[in-house]
Structure 1
Amino acid sequence: MLTNQFRLTTSAALASLMLLAQSAWAVNPFTVRDIRIEGLQRVEPGTVFVSLPVRVGDTYNDDKGAAAIQSLFALGLFKDVRIEVNGDVLVVVVEERPTVANVEFVGTKEFDKEVLVKSLRDVGLADGRPFDKAQLDRAEQELKRQYINRSLYAAQVVTTVTPIERNRVNLTFTVVEGEPANISEIRIVGNKAFSESTLLGLFDLDTGGWLSWYTKSNRYSRAKLNADIETLRSYYLTRGYLEFKVDSTQVAILPNKTDIGVNINITEGERFVVSSVKLAGEYLGKEEEFKALVEIRPGQAFNADEVARTTKAFTDYFSNFGYAFARVEAKPEIDRVNNRVALVLQANPSRRAYVRKINVAGNTRTRDVVVRREFRQLEASWYDGDKIRRSRDRVDRLGYFGDVTVETEEVPGTPDQVDLTINVTEKPTGSLSLGAGYSSGDGLGLSFGLKQENAFGSGNSLGLQVNTSKFNRLLVISTTDPYFTEDGVSRTFDLYTRTSSPYEDENYYEIETSGGSIRFGVPFTEIDTVFFGMGIEKTTIVPGTDLPISYENYAKEYGYSSTALPLTVGWARDSRDSALAPTSGRFQRANAEWSFTGDAKYLRATYQFQQYVPLNKQFTAAFNTEVGLGSALGGRSYPVFKNFYGGGLGSVRGFEQGSLGPNEQADGLGTSLGGSRKLNINMEVLAPFPGAGNDRTLRMYGFWDIGLVGGDNAVNANANDLRSSVGVGISWISPVGPLRLAFAKPIRKFDNDRIQSLQFQIGTSF
């Protein structure tokens, strides 16, 4: 009985308190005569007034009060908001959040400050923004995530919040990075057809070597591991293992947070051979043409790459006829009893489409016309996949953009029309460089370069190049208009002066050449360009100590100054996959120079051929040959200053730069004369540098070089004059350009040849 009475008394008390609270909160509706805001320090009053759902003259009630508080909290600027009523005056009392005044980082070595500042800005924490403890926690997690991506699992982040005047705070993130987590073991479980070492050799990740400090190949990265797994999958699928799968991947981090073990469990499945390839669906009556595109070979092991290339070739061919939405699917019919698979290529061309509009997006600096003039696809014409691909490649080859993509969008309500949008990402096209380089053959060289490839967004280039070394000095001013005509004929002006001397002393002789030229480039096809032009050139033999007899004889016959008016013609084609570190493709270049009038009359021609053949993912075979021929015209002697030279990097390694062929003195110690005939043959096998994984920027190579120089003013060039060498070297795409270091041993030489076993140079590719 007492218990029940106590419960009734307690319930009554609680009810009374609730009624009292409701009466304290409840406000009788009234007309607002004025609104005051209290507590503002940095936030503008207008920001608060705009967010309030009530104005002077409105009727205020409890619902509007609750809505006002909710609206002000949603701004994220205040940590407390109250609304008080003073008669018919509404008083809004706020307490502002502190503002972040400055963000500093202590102990960060792995990242630049700008990278960390950007990552924190992405989670809402930056200078000038309101400070929120929840954002601070997210910021710490984001910093740890950035370090985990670099395999620094032991990284610790401690944040210090320092209040300062005007309700602001300084944030200091103190980071103890710790040691990176390195892969101590990688295991592949379930492999039978291929050895574990063979499969691990496909990976970019490894357990490290003596060059891991440079390659970081033993740093765990989920993205790199995923890429390696896809490489593994591709390896099996291209060798007949149609049902290969990766069952699981375990990554274990040891308690010390610096050692990682990776286990990859796979199921190889059976190896399947292609029994037949059939075409099904609609092929526009061009079945024979499509069959010619099939790369899948019956009787051979199933190859996923061949299937992918075939289906892509089919869709690309459909697009050439306007079928922008064609679909081709390779359907396997598997015979598991005999381990055979029949492939059915099912095609659905869908509908033909016109291109309504072509849009250009992302060109903040480059003019639209510079991009549009590279397009071969026209508006209001049939969609043509081949022309679109060529258009994208042409825009990419301009070199003005970091990324170029083409998007195809259907026109709403018009199923037979599409719009194309070419998206470009601008990149800096101007460069100002100061530097120095050293060549074992040319000594110390200082360089200065000022070049703008896309001047004022017009597509024209302007350049100034200065180079100086012990033996050769150069000044070139050039400008190119790639669309001198609407058909894409380019025009280039060059002004240059060169000075060469075999010695550093100012008392020795020099060869000074200055001149100018104009060249035009005519695109005969999409991949072939023919260049032609003319120039004027003056060459002066400056007498001095040790002037070679051949130069002296030429000067006596024609004078110490010679003027030439050379006409030039050239052709180039480049299909290499990379200009700096090629692994496949071909490069060809031919040039001819004909001086038909003036003091020096001659014909000079060169041809270069390079071929790169990938032996596998790691090894590449490279072949280079260069031939040079020069001939005098009009009964005159061939100009000695137009001779070819050989020896050293870019020619026959192991011999001093430019020393091949006869010399002024019989003992071989005099000035190299060069000759009007030149032949270079270089063969290389390139491989990853030990410990560098599959890094293409750092490779080693073995080589065999053959070459000769001779002719007119020297001796007749013949096979008996061939020099040859073998050796090994290192190729590195360094920050200042391609660097080649070679150690060579001559295997065919003459007694007076100048040997130089160790050579290096920056800026050469062969």
Structure 2
Amino acid sequence: MELNRSFVRGLSVVISALAMLPVAEALEPFSVKDIRVEGLQRVEAGTIFASMPVRVGDTYSDEKAAAAIKSLFALGLFKDVRIEAKDGVLVVLVEERPSVAEVDFSGTKEFEKDVLKKALKDIGLGEGRPFDKALVDKAEQELKRQYISRSLYAVEVVTTITPIERNRVNLSFAVIEGETAKINSIKIVGNSTFSESTLTGLFDQDTGGWLSWYTKSNRYSRAKLNADIETLRSYYLSRGFLEFKVDSTQVAISPNKQDIDISISVTEGERFVVSKIRLAGNYLGKEEEFQALIAIKAGDAYNADQVAQTTKAFTDYFGNFGYAFARTEAVPEIDRGTNRVEITLQSEPSRRAYVRRINVAGNDRTRDEVIRREFRQLEAAWYDGEKIRQSRNRVDRLGYFKEVSLDTQEVPGSPDQVDLTVTVAEKPTGSLSLGAGVSSSDGLGLMFGFKQDNAFGSGSSLGVELNTSKVNRTIVFNTTNPYVTDDGVSRTIDLYQRNTKPYTDLDSYSIETVGTSVRYGIPITDLDTVYLGVGVDRTTIVPGTLLPAVYKDFATEFGYTSNAVPLTVGWARDSRDSALVPSTGKVIRTSGEWSVAGELRYARGTVQYQQYYPVSKKVTAAFNSDFSLGAGTNGLSYPVFKNFYSGGLGSVRGFEQGSLTTAAQRAAGLTATGGAKKVTFNAELLSPLPGGGNDRTLRMYGFVDAGGIYGADETVQLGDLRSSFGIGISWISPVGPLRLAFARPLSKFDGDKLQGIQFQIGTAF
């Protein structure tokens, strides 16, 4: 009974309260005489008026009131909106959301603050934007996502919101990054044909090694794992396992969020052999030409790489005849009873097209013409796949861009037209070097170097080199215009002055050289260039103590000051797949120099041949040979200043740079002054550095070198060659290709200057 009486009293109170509430009545529509806004601090009144669906003179009603409030809330600028009406006047009362004055981070080591600020801006939270508490949780999740992408799964984020004057807030995100999660194990289940170590060796991700601090290969990444799985699939499909599949991928993280275990379950399937290859479809009456493009071989194991190579070759070949939309599909017919597969190459050239327009994008600094002049495909001409590929490769070989991509788009409403868009990502093309050094031989030396390969976005290069040491004083200026003519003829101009004083004594001898040259490069094909040039130089021997006999003999014949006017000619072909980390292709260079005027009359030439062979996906074999020869002409002796030098990085490693002597120099006990003949042989085997994963920019190599220097009257004898072997490290560093070599001589002579550790920033051999 007591409970019932309490319930009745409570119900009475509720009914009495409801009875006291005013009865809501529908608003009587009226004509708006004026609209006023109250509560604004930063938002302009015009923003309110522009968003409201009612104007002065309109009829105001309940429907328009609801629509007005909804539209103002939709701006995201206000946390409360009310509209009051009195005597035909609408008063809009708003309460603005606070704005974000500052976003700051503490404890962030893995990311730059600007990177994190940009990530938060992408979700709507940034300085100057309205603050919404709902975005705080979203921001914390976004920051954690950024860190998880770097394998920092234990990251914690604490947000502090500090109100300040003028309805603003400061946001501070305190980040505890924690330790990086490492891959503890990678297991592959279901494999029987290939060992687990062979398969995991294909992956870019691994369980770590001594170089993991640099490669970060033991940091888990979902994107990298997907790429590794595709590598695994490609490995099987290229070895006949046509029905190979990945059943599941499991990634487990330890409770302390420090260790990650990856398990990949696979089904290998049976190995299939190609029994026959057939052509089907329309081949423009050129079946024999397409047959020659087939990389698939009957009797061999099914190879998905060969199939992809063949279909791409077919599509590209169709493109050479203007068929931009050609399609080729390889259809396998599997006979599981015999484990054989018949492949039908079904092709449809579709329609022929021509290029309407070529667009250039991404070049903020480089001028359009620098890119366009490399194109061999022309606007308003038939689509030519070969010329388009050449165009893209020529732009890439400029060296001004990190990435070059070329896309083909159909022109709406014109089925026989396409537009080409070449998109580039520019990279810094200038380098500045400053340095100073003090040594007992050189004294104080200041060094300055500047080079800009794409000066002012014009495609021309400018370079200055300065050395102020007491032993070697040098100033060099050079510039190259790659398109001095519309046909792509280049012009290089060099100005130089060099002063060499081997001894710092005031009265010791020195050699001074000043000169200039101009050289033109004439492209013959996309791979071949012919060079023609002329130069003038003057060499002066300044007499002094310790002047070697070879210089005295030279001065007796030519005088202490001599001039030369050399004509130069050369040819180069470069078919490497990469200038920095080549794995296939070759380089052939020949150059000749002939002095036709002045006191010095001579001829000299060099032939260089390099070849690269891919031994495996990771290992590359490289071979280099270099032959140089010089001789005097017009009955004059070959000038000592034009001698060739050998020894050190770039020739025979393990010997001091330029220290190899001729037989005559050794017999007389003289130091190296070069020779008129030079022979060099190099062989290298390059592979990724152990613990470095598949990173081709950081590699180790083993090498064997052999080379020698010979006088003008000496015969090249293989028994006079010095040789060495060793190991080294090659790194494509931000300042250029860097090579470190540890070498030991195989054959040497008494008096040779050895150098077991050598370092160089430059090209490969």
Q: Work out whether the TM-score is over 0.5.
A: yes
For 2:709, give the aligned amino acid.
V
- CA gap of 1:545–1:62, structure 2 versus 1, over 3 A, is farther
**Map of 1:558 onto structure 2:** 558
State the Cα distance separating 1:315 from its structure 2 match: 0.5
State the Cα distance separating 1:271 from its structure 2 match: 0.8
SS at 1:22's partner residue?
coil
Q: C-alpha separation between the residues in 2 aligned to 1:371 and 1:52? A: 51
Tell me which moved more, 143-152 or 530-539: 530-539
State the Cα distance separating 1:665 from its structure 2 match: 6.9
Tell me which moved more, 348-357 or 676-685: 348-357
User: Does structure 2 retain, via aligned residues, the 8 Å contact 1:663–1:672?
Assistant: no
Measured against aligned partners, the alpha-carbon deviations of 1:375-415 in whole angstroms (never above 9, x if no partner) come to 21122221111111111112222233333222222222322
**Map of 1:259 onto structure 2:** 259
**Map of 2:734 onto structure 1:** 735
For 2:762, give the aligned amino acid.
G
User: Does structure 2 retain, via aligned residues, the 8 Å contact 1:76–1:130?
Assistant: yes
**Map of 1:171 onto structure 2:** 171
Tell me which moved more, 308-317 or 617-626: 617-626
**Is 1:302 equivalent to 2:335 in the alignment?**
no
SS at 1:290's partner residue?
helix
Matches within 5 A, 1:342-381: 342-381=342-381
**Map of 1:247 onto structure 2:** 247
SS at 1:598's partner residue?
coil
- CA gap of 1:760–1:664, structure 2 versus 1, over 3 A, is farther
Tell me which moved more, 150-159 or 579-588: 579-588
- CA gap of 1:392–1:665, structure 2 versus 1, over 3 A, is closer
**Is 1:220 equivalent to 2:223 in the alignment?**
no
**Is 1:113 equivalent to 2:92 in the alignment?**
no
- CA gap of 1:508–1:176, structure 2 versus 1, over 3 A, is farther
**Map of 1:754 onto structure 2:** 753
SS at 1:223's partner residue?
helix
Measured against aligned partners, the alpha-carbon deviations of 1:394-450 in whole angstroms (never above 9, x if no partner) come to 2222233333222222222322222222233344434434357999x9999864333
- CA gap of 1:754–1:699, structure 2 versus 1, over 3 A, is same
State the Cα distance separating 1:467 from its structure 2 match: 4.8
Tell me which moved more, 501-510 or 668-677: 501-510
Give the TM-score taking structure 2 as reference length: 0.94
Matches within 5 A, 1:74-223: 74-223=74-223
**Map of 1:610 onto structure 2:** 610
**Map of 2:638 onto structure 1:** 638
**Map of 1:399 onto structure 2:** 399
User: Does structure 2 retain, via aligned residues, the 8 Å contact 1:549–1:664?
Assistant: no
Structure 1 unmatched runs, 5+? none
State the Cα distance separating 1:337 from its structure 2 match: 1.1
User: Does structure 1 retain, via aligned residues, the 8 Å contact 2:664–2:711?
Assistant: no
Displaced runs of 4 or more, over 4 A = 9-19, 435-439, 441-447, 467-473, 503-507, 663-670
State the Cα distance separating 1:55 from its structure 2 match: 2.2
Q: C-alpha separation between the residues in 2 aligned to 1:334 and 1:533? A: 63
- CA gap of 1:12–1:95, structure 2 versus 1, over 3 A, is closer
- CA gap of 1:187–1:505, structure 2 versus 1, over 3 A, is farther
- CA gap of 1:430–1:702, structure 2 versus 1, over 3 A, is closer
For 2:167, give the aligned amino acid.
N
**Is 1:70 equivalent to 2:70 in the alignment?**
yes
SS at 1:37's partner residue?
strand
Q: C-alpha separation between the residues in 2 aligned to 1:447 and 1:582? A: 31
**Map of 2:498 onto structure 1:** 498
User: Does structure 2 retain, via aligned residues, the 8 Å contact 1:711–1:717?
Assistant: no
State the Cα distance separating 1:663 from its structure 2 match: 8.6
**Map of 1:280 onto structure 2:** 280
**Is 1:685 equivalent to 2:685 in the alignment?**
yes
Structure 2 unmatched runs, 5+? none
Q: C-alpha separation between the residues in 2 aligned to 1:12 and 1:155? A: 52
User: Does structure 2 retain, via aligned residues, the 8 Å contact 1:664–1:671?
Assistant: no
Matches within 5 A, 1:685-724: 685-712=685-712, 715-724=714-723
- CA gap of 1:341–1:520, structure 2 versus 1, over 3 A, is same
SS at 1:206's partner residue?
coil
Tell me which moved more, 117-126 or 316-325: 117-126
User: Does structure 2 retain, via aligned residues, the 8 Å contact 1:664–1:673?
Assistant: no
**Map of 1:653 onto structure 2:** 653
SS at 2:740's partner residue?
strand
Q: C-alpha separation between the residues in 2 aligned to 1:394 and 1:259? A: 46
Q: C-alpha separation between the residues in 1 aligned to 2:722 and 2:628? A: 16
Tell me which moved more, 722-731 or 251-260: 722-731
**Map of 1:588 onto structure 2:** 588
**Map of 1:623 onto structure 2:** 623
State the Cα distance separating 1:348 from its structure 2 match: 0.7
For 1:22, give the aligned amino acid.
A
For 1:283, give the aligned amino acid.
Y
Q: C-alpha separation between the residues in 2 aligned to 1:467 and 1:87? A: 88
Q: C-alpha separation between the residues in 2 aligned to 1:523 and 1:652? A: 33
State the Cα distance separating 1:662 from its structure 2 match: 3.4
Q: C-alpha separation between the residues in 1 aligned to 2:614 and 2:16? A: 86
TM-align CA RMSD: 2.7
- CA gap of 1:320–1:19, structure 2 versus 1, over 3 A, is farther
**Map of 1:52 onto structure 2:** 52
Q: C-alpha separation between the residues in 2 aligned to 1:559 and 1:437? A: 35
Tell me which moved more, 124-133 or 356-365: 356-365
Measured against aligned partners, the alpha-carbon deviations of 1:294-338 in whole angstroms (never above 9, x if no partner) come to 111111111111111111000000011111111100111111111
Q: C-alpha separation between the residues in 1 aligned to 2:165 and 2:371? A: 53
Matches within 5 A, 1:466-485: 466-467=466-467, 472-485=472-485
Q: C-alpha separation between the residues in 2 aligned to 1:552 and 1:21? A: 121
**Map of 1:20 onto structure 2:** 22
State the Cα distance separating 1:360 from its structure 2 match: 2.5
User: Does structure 1 retain, via aligned residues, the 8 Å contact 2:701–2:728?
Assistant: yes
User: Does structure 1 retain, via aligned residues, the 8 Å contact 2:663–2:710?
Assistant: no
Same amino acid, percent of matched pairs: 68
Report how many residues are paired: 759
SS at 1:131's partner residue?
coil
**Map of 2:321 onto structure 1:** 321
User: Does structure 2 retain, via aligned residues, the 8 Å contact 1:324–1:383?
Assistant: yes
For 1:752, give the aligned amino acid.
G
**Is 1:291 equivalent to 2:301 in the alignment?**
no
For 1:397, give the aligned amino acid.
R
Give the TM-score taking structure 1 as reference length: 0.94
Q: C-alpha separation between the residues in 2 aligned to 1:415 and 1:735? A: 46
- CA gap of 1:15–1:322, structure 2 versus 1, over 3 A, is farther
Q: C-alpha separation between the residues in 2 aligned to 1:484 and 1:665? A: 46
State the Cα distance separating 1:454 from its structure 2 match: 2.9
State the Cα distance separating 1:630 from its structure 2 match: 0.9
Measured against aligned partners, the alpha-carbon deviations of 1:213-258 in whole angstroms (never above 9, x if no partner) come to 1111111111111111111111111111111111111110010100
Tell me which moved more, 466-475 or 681-690: 466-475
